[in-house]
C-alpha cells in the first residue's frame, strides 16, 4: 500500500533531482498535495467529536452537579466548591515565564514580531 517509503523518497531525491532548489519544490508540492488530504483530516476530527457527543447523549447523568460521587465527595471531604480544603487541594498558582522569552529575544532567537505574525488558521481547517 505504501507507494514509496521515506527511504525511497530520499533515494528518489538523490536519483531524480539531486539539487537543493528542486528539493524545495518537492517540499511545497508535498504540502500542496497534502492539502486535499488535510481536508479529509478535518472529517476524521469531526468523527472523533461526533463520538463524544453521541456518548454524552447516551449517558444517564448529563451534568456535573448531578454526579452522585461528586455530591458524595463534597459531603465527605471537600465541603463546598472553593471551600478552604478545596482551595488547598484543587486549586493552584502559575509562574511568569516571560523572562525566557526576553532573554531569547535579546539573543535574536525569538522575535515578538514574528510571533505576532503567525497566521491564526491551521492547515487542517
* Shortest separation between residue 115's beta carbon and other proteins, angstroms: 6
* Shortest separation between residue 25's beta carbon and other proteins, angstroms: 10
Report the b/e string of 54-87 with b at 16+ CB within 10 A: eeeeeeeeeeeeeeeeeeeeeeeebeeeeeeebe
User: Cα–Cα distances in Å, from 80 out to 61, 72, 76?
Assistant: 20, 11, 10
Site string for other proteins, 79-118 (x = CB under 8 A): -xxx---xx-xxxxxxxxxx-xx--x----xxx--xxx-x
**Which of 22, 31, 79, 84 touches other proteins by CB under 8 A?**
31
Told to check if 75 binds other proteins by CB under 8 A, we report no
**Which of 22, 30, 79, 84 touches other proteins by CB under 8 A?**
30
Amino acid at each position: 500500500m505504501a507507494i514509496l517509503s521515506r527511504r525511497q523518497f530520499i533515494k528518489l531525491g538523490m536519483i531524480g533531482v539531486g539539487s537543493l532548489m528542486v528539493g524545495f519544490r518537492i517540499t511545497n508540492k508535498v504540502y500542496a498535495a497534502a492539502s486535499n488530504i488535510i481536508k479529509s483530516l478535518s472529517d476524521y476530527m469531526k468523527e472523533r467529536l461526533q463520538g463524544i457527543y453521541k456518548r454524552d447523549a447516551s449517558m444517564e447523568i448529563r451534568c456535573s452537579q448531578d454526579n452522585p460521587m461528586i455530591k458524595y465527595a463534597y459531603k465527605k471531604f471537600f465541603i463546598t466548591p472553593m471551600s478552604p480544603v478545596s482551595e488547598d487541594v484543587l486549586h493552584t498558582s502559575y509562574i511568569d515565564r516571560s523572562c525566557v522569552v526576553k532573554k531569547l529575544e535579546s539573543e535574536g532567537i525569538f522575535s515578538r514580531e514574528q510571533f505576532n505574525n503567525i497566521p491564526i488558521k491551521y492547515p487542517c481547517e
